[in-house]
Structures are given as C-alpha cells and as structure tokens.
Structure 1
Amino acid sequence: MNFERARFNMVEQQIRPWDVLDQDVLDLLMTVKREEFVPAAHKALSFADIEIPVGCGQVMLKPNIEGKILQALPLKRSDTVLEIGSGSGYFAALLAARTDWVRTVEIERELVKFASENLNRYGVDNVVVEEGDASRGWPCHAPYDVIVVSGGVPMIPQSLLDQLKVGGRLFAFVGEAPVMEGRLVTCVAEGQFKIEDVFETVVPMLKNVQRKDEFRF
C-alpha cells in the first residue's frame, strides 16, 4: 500500500471537501502518520472514511471529523491540553504537534497501554497518558487552554467548563443519536462562555457520562 498517496487522497478527497481549509491543519494531517496508530488488523483501512475499531468498543474518529475539530479550536504552541478518551493515541499526537503538552486520560487499561506504546514508538515526548475516568474532568492539572472530549456526552458538565482558562476552548460532541453537535465552547471571561455548534455528526458515547437527569446547576 502506498501510504503517502493514500494520505494525500484522504486530505484532498475526504477532509478538504468537508470545508477544512486551514492549511496548517491540512499540513498537520499530512505530517503525523495515521497508519502508525491503527491496530495491525485494520492497517489497510488507515485512511478510509470510516470509524476504525481500536478495542473496548472504542474507535478512531473519521479523518474529516478529526480535521474539523483541529480547525475549530485552533491550537497555539503555548497551549496546555486535556484530552478525554485516548483511543489509539493518534489525536493526542496531532494535538501535541501544535501545543506545549497534552495530558490524555483513558478509562480502559488496554487502550492506555495501546496509546502509550504508539506514542512512544512514534517519538511523541510531550504527551502523558493516564488511566482514569475523566468524564467530569481531570482537576489535578487544571486549568487547561484546550479540552477535547473524544466521545459523545448528553451535556457538558459544569465541572469541565470550570477547568478551562479564560480564553480556553473546549470541544465536545453533545447530544445523543441520531444527531450530535460538534460543539466549541470558549471561556470569554471568568464563568462566562461562548457556544458555537460547528457541525452535526454521531460518535460513540463517552463511558460513564452523566445522563441529563443527573445534572444540577
């Protein structure tokens, strides 16, 4: 398989047509080698327009979704990042390539090992992979400039919003099947947030998320 040709086709035929036009994002997706993070059994599907299973009922998101998230944020070299849901480690690698450091938290021990091995083999040295339930945030290292929730949530917990710095951005998939909103939340001042729904999609739900009737304000 010609990985470089497949990568080029992924960017030009899947990601760019989804209005991901930020050249920095497109360059990033051309640079970080997606196939290095795909389970061996699915290597031939590395650049396909599908969610790739990584085990424990989890998936790598479609390439166009990953591009839309990166474009929505956008990232700065000085940013500190929390990713909730490590999966294969690929999206953490993308985030790390444009930021200061990334802390990615994964609830499944098998995926903690898989993501850690992938990131170490690929030489990413500014990502820390931790095991735990970060569905309500990871306060021990807060606040963060960027928070990315890699699975669906019915609503965004206030505890997560409280872990954003002023000027910080949070991206999450909000709602339930058949339609979720890819939502960007920006902390514009202490306790004040701007909300933008960027696109519609459906992704697997984050494990241990709060149901709507559990929220208290």
Structure 2
Amino acid sequence: MKDFNQARTNMVKNQVMTNNVFNHNILDAMQEVPRHEFIEGKWREMAYLDTRLPLDKNRKMLEPAVFARMLDACGISKDDSVLDIACGSGYSIAIIAKLAKKVIGLESINSLAIKAADYVKREGLNNVAIKSGNLLAGAPENAPYDIIIINGALNKAPDELLMQLKNKGRLVFIEHSSGIMKAVKYMLINGSYNKVELFDAYAELL
C-alpha cells in the first residue's frame, strides 16, 4: 500500500517549498489535509504528484504547487472571508478552512458539491459552507469577501465577482488571454482594480 503520509510530506518539500511558498500556515495545512481522500479510482495513487488530476469529466484539480502559489498570493489571514470557486470535491475548501475565518465553497457540478459537503460534515468544519450554482455569478448573498480564489481558468475577470470584493479584497485565478495563461491577482482599491501577473500556469477553462 502506498505511504500517503510520506508522499504528502514529499509533495510539500519538493513541490510547494521549491516553488518559493514558505508561508507556514499554508505548508502546515497542505501537510495535514489528506489530498488522496478527494480523488477517486486509479487517480488516487497519483494524489501527491505534480500534476492536475481528474475530479469529473469536466473538471481537474490544480497541481499542488500552482494551488499553493495562488493561496500564497491571496495573503489569507485568520480574519478573512473567502469565496472558493470551483471547489471541486472539497480539497481547496479543506485547506482554506485552516487559513481563514469563513469560507464559502461554490461548485457547479452537483456530484462534486455533494462530495465536498460530505467531507465538511464529516470533519466538522464549522467555518465552511458549500453552495451549488453558477460559478461566474459567485455568491453575492454572502458578499463582500476579502478573498475570491478560482480553481480554474477564465478568459477575464468577471464583473460579477469583482463587485463582490471588499475594499483591498483580492481575486486570484488563472487568466487565459491572447493564447497565454497566467495566474493573476486583481485587487480592489478605492473603487479601482489593480491587476498583477503572478506566474505562468495552466488550467482548463471553466
């Protein structure tokens, strides 16, 4: 049987830390959360490899290093409210729940939303709520948010999501523009949005 605990340690040391993520809260969370529990079938054995893994025919889980770097760019604090878009089967939610005060997970694929909700209930994560719905619409009923993170790629930042940020709030996702994909961060500052390109990354368009 595969030693998932050792594989998870190797993932943190050899994938996450070597990509210049040294935030101890992120490292501890990724060391603690069993990534393999969110993946099914033959892909489970590959849970800690540096690759995107299928969750559904239309959705893949981001590589550990890419997800960690996006989290690092978010700058999540213990007082923050986070909207986690395309949360899949719940791995990203499980990590963010350890970093933030409150997390809303939004998922458009019902079977994945059910899996995420089951994990949240089983683990007693009382600062998390899972919602099903249109990813690009966000969850305005719980807005505004300090952080919005999207586990996938979009052609541009949706106005509906930008409007759900608090002042100094951040939206982090992978942007597909002119045939190039990059992780980007948008920050709302006094009514204007500042965009920063972070690093090259790839994900399926949502």
- Return the letter of the residue paired with 2:6: R
Unaligned runs of 5+ in 2: none
TM-score, scaled relative to structure 2: 0.93
TM-score, scaled relative to structure 1: 0.88
**Residue of structure 2 in register with 1:78 after alignment:** 79
**Residue of structure 1 in register with 2:135 after alignment:** 134
**Residue of structure 2 in register with 1:197 after alignment:** 197
Backbone CA RMSD of aligned residues: 1.6
Confirm or deny: 8 A CA contact 1:36 1:122 kept in the other structure: no
Helix, strand or coil for the counterpart of 2:182? strand
Identity %: 30
Q: Does 1:44 align with 2:24?
A: no
Matched ranges for 1:56-95 at <5 A = 56-95=57-96
Helix, strand or coil for the counterpart of 2:17? helix
**Residue of structure 2 in register with 1:146 after alignment:** 147
**Residue of structure 2 in register with 1:3 after alignment:** 4
Structure 1 residues 38 and 177 mapped into 2: Cα distance closer, same or farther (>3 Å)?
farther
- Residue by residue over 1:37-66, the C-alpha shift from the partner in whole angstroms, topping out at 9 and shown as x without a partner, is 222442211101111111141111100011
Unaligned runs of 5+ in 1: 207-217
Higher mean C-alpha displacement, 172-181 vs 91-100? 172-181
Structure 1 residues 19 and 120 mapped into 2: Cα distance closer, same or farther (>3 Å)?
same
- Return the letter of the residue paired with 1:159: E
- Return the letter of the residue paired with 2:193: F
**Residue of structure 1 in register with 2:22 after alignment:** 21
Structure 1 residues 66 and 55 mapped into 2: Cα distance closer, same or farther (>3 Å)?
same
Helix, strand or coil for the counterpart of 2:203? coil
Confirm or deny: 8 A CA contact 1:152 1:176 kept in the other structure: no
Structure 1 residues 177 and 3 mapped into 2: Cα distance closer, same or farther (>3 Å)?
farther
Deviation at 1:177, TM superposition (A): 8.4
Structure 1 residues 178 and 12 mapped into 2: Cα distance closer, same or farther (>3 Å)?
farther
- Return the letter of the residue paired with 1:195: K
Higher mean C-alpha displacement, 122-131 vs 99-108? 122-131
- Return the letter of the residue paired with 2:203: V
Q: Number of aligned pairs?
A: 205
